[in-house]
Each structure stands twice: as C-alpha cells, then as structure tokens.
Amino acid sequence: MNTTGPAADDVRADGLRLLPFRGLRYVPERVGSLAAVTSPPYDVVVRPDGLHHLESADPHNIVRLILPQAMTAGTRHRKAAVTLDRWLADGVLAPDPEPALYVYEQRSGDLLQRGIIGALELSAPDRGIVLPHEDVMPHVVEDRAALMRTTAANLEPLLLTYVGEGDGATRVIERTAQREPLLSTTTEDGVHHRLWAVTDPTELAAVAAELAQHQALIADGHHRWATYLRLQHEHDSPSPWNYGLVLLVDTARHPLRVRAIHRLLSRLPVADALAALEGRFRIRRVDGPLPAAMETLAAAVADGNAFLLAGDGGFHLVDRPDPALLAETVRTDRPEAWRTLDATVLHATMLDHLWHIPDAPEHIAYIHDTEAAVEQAERRGGTAVLMHPVREEVVRDLARQGVTMPRKSTSFGPKPATGLVLRSLALD
C-alpha cells in the first residue's frame, strides 16, 4: 500500500486509518462528459430500465464495470475486467501521478455535503472501529467478491459516517474546497459534484490524527464491506487487500438524509397479502396520489409500526399490529429499539409468519425509489411494501451495541456518485 508522509504513521490502533492512494479517474477528453460516465451505486440502479439508460448515456459509463451484462456470473466478471483493462490501455481511465486523499463535495439546492475519500484499513467487527448496522445477503457478497477479485479494483466507495470534533480533517476539507477542483460536473439529477486531491504531508497528517480518534458507522455499502473483509482473508498480509475504498463524512457538520428501502413481492398479489393480515393488523384504504399516501404513512408511524401496501392501483395502510402476535413472532433477545423496528416486524411477523415468503431474490426485491416500487408491483401483479425511514440516532445506537438491523433497513444519502474516482489494487 502506498503511503505519503506522516499520514500513514503514528495513529492509534483503535481508530480509523485512512491512507492516500493513486486514484483512477476518467480522462475528460476521452469521454462525452464526466456526468455521462457516472452512475448511482450498483444496488440503486433500477434494473433493467435504469441500467439501459446508463449504458446508452456514454459507451464508457461506469455501469459497464459495476453491473456488467453477460449470460453467466463468471462471464460478467471477466467482461468487467477486460473492459477495465481496455479503458486503461486506451487512456479512457488514467491513474493520478501520486497518492492522495480526495475531498468530495455534493451540492444541490440547500444540500451541501463534503467528505474525504481514501483507502481505509480494514478491521474486524469485534474491534468496534467500523460499525455495521445491517445484515447482508451471502449471494450478493459472493457476487461483489467475484467482481472485485477479477478486476482487482474497488470500483465505488462505501459511504461511512463519523461524528467529528471540527478540527483536523474538517479544517483540511474546508480549506481544500476553496481551491480549484480536479473535476466539476453536474449529474442529471441536478447534483453538482466536485473533487480535489490532498497530497500535502502536513494536511494528510492532520486528517490522520483526527480520524484516529474516531469510529465510523457504515451508512451505505454493507455488502461491499463484507466483501472487503472476505477478500482480505484470501490474501497474505501486508497486502493492498487490507484496505478498501470509502467516503468518510462527518455528520456533525454534514448530517445525512435517511430514507427507507422498500420491498417488492412479485409473487404475492395485494389481495392475498391483505387477506393474510386481516384481524392481525388494522387495514385501511387511503387516498392517493403516492405522495399523499406516503404522508399518511408518516403520520401513522408516530403511533407504532405502519406500512403502505400498493400494487393493485390503490394504497392500503397497515398498522397497529396485534401485540400478542408480535410477542409470538419477534425474538426477545434483542433490545427494545430493535424489536419495535418496522423492518423487524415486517420480516419476522409479516414475511416469515403470515406470508411465508423466503428472503430470496426471486421472492423479494429491495427498491430504493418509491415510484419504481409501486410501478413494478402493478406491472407484475405483486405487492409493494412501502416503508418509513429509521432515525439515524437509532441506527447508530444499535450499531454501538453490536446489534444489526434486518438487511436493507435504511438508505442513507446523498450517496457518492460512482465513477468519479476508482482504486486499482495493482497500483498499490
């Protein structure tokens, strides 16, 4: 692993250790535009429509690496590796001349988020340096591991948060943001992105000194973090595989927005879903359109667990579960904050006990976009279960207790755009 100056040394063993790396970046003259080659994180792309849209935006769109298309998994991963090698050979992507940390800014309307991208030293969960808060799906970890293993690259940064103290890293980030950026682009969602390189040894040391005092919460990227740990165990240490690409955001200065991730049950019609809930939850048909129905859901959550079911052209509010049913179906060896999560009740009580739906990709899809979840449910004759987000303080408190939430319980944002800076392990 390349290091630069004192940033890599003299840091506490029980804190975050973020190292500079030689970022791979698109060469602007070789692509239509920087905006046209970026993508949301792989699991946010709504397939297939979103995938096709990104593929057609530019022949070099990063989606061809993070979601390569082929008949088999092995062929997909090899295709991504061949594509990456070709883009490097053709000068579409090129490494920066020296290792750097990268200050990254996202701005849209009244939203301003700044953080710092680097190669984070991996640590075992029991050390409490990086805190996961969600369970992962083994098949997704296996797929991401095969892709990273074949490409020997971290293609998109995880989003991690920490609660800073306003010194060290914060000062470096704010000073850097006053300089001329390496790149500046506005993506089609209206978000303006800027990126700067930090290479000065004194500034790198200031960042290292502050981060060494903190732990981080995984806001987005649990499957990729699990993938990092798996690949680390496959390689002898020391190794570039001991580090993974992350974006660290100080939420004391830049609070993230927390949104829900919805469930699409393609094989369960709404009528059947409601019939199985009858007498166990209160069920009411509520008025649309979708934004109005979601406001009704938000109001109902104040009184306890609540869900909005859609897919038959209408909206059905499901709330006030039978306490005896919850006592029967929700495990008791977890904190009360976990036992009362909407995601806990959904999975333990509704999916497992009442609907008997296994948590497998052919039965449950996880969709970030509310409109897309409803649209796909209506098109497939299934049920969209629309959720309300969990507060960040609940997530962090459970993570500190070592308690993981049901998978895909939260969606933190704004998420970093994929394609602005990559990490090749061959360069370390």
In 10 A of CB 275, how many CB atoms?
Answer: 12
pLDDT at 48: 54
For 309-319, what is each residue's pLDDT tens digit? 999 999 999 99
pLDDT at 13: 52
For 173-216, what is each residue's pLDDT tens digit? 999 999 999 999 999 889 999 999 999 999 999 999 999 999 99
pTM: 0.80
One-letter amino acid identity for 186?
A: T
pLDDT at 119: 98
Model confidence band, residue 7 (pLDDT cutoffs 50, 70, 90): very low
pLDDT at 393: 79
Mean pLDDT of 285-313: 95
For residue 109, the Cα-to-chain-centroid distance in whole angstroms is 22
For 231-288, what is each residue's pLDDT tens digit? 999 998 889 999 999 999 998 898 888 888 999 999 999 999 999 999 999 999 999 8
Tokens at 389, concatenated:
């987000």
Mean pLDDT of 225-230: 96
Local structure of 417: helix, strand or coil? coil
For 69-119, what is each residue's pLDDT tens digit? 888 888 999 999 999 999 999 999 999 999 999 999 999 988 899 999 999
What one-character DSSP code corresponds to residue 266? Answer: T
Question: Could you identify the residue written with the tokens 């993938």?
Answer: 227
Give the strands of the sheet with 153-154, arranged side by side. 93-95, 23-26, 422-424, 153-154
Provide the pairing of β-strand 101-108 with 192-198: antiparallel
Mean pLDDT of 417-428: 94
Q: In this structure, what is the dihedral angle of CA atoms 105, 372, 389, 292, given to the nearest 10 degrees?
A: 110
- Please state, for a pLDDT cut of 90, what percent of the chain lies above it: 70
For 31-74, what is each residue's pLDDT tens digit? 989 999 999 888 876 555 667 677 777 899 999 999 998 888 88
Report the distance separating Cα 409 and Cα 404, nearest Å: 10
One-letter amino acid identity for 274?
A: L
Question: Could you identify the residue written with the tokens 């499901």?
Answer: 318
pLDDT at 73: 83
- Please state, for a pLDDT cut of 70, what percent of the chain lies above it: 95
For the cut 60, the answer to whether the pLDDT of residue 1 exceeds it is: no
Rg of the chain taking only CA atoms, in angstroms: 22
Beta bridge partners of 113: 106
For the cut 60, the answer to whether the pLDDT of residue 6 exceeds it is: no
For 120-160, what is each residue's pLDDT tens digit? 999 988 888 998 888 888 999 999 999 999 999 999 999 99
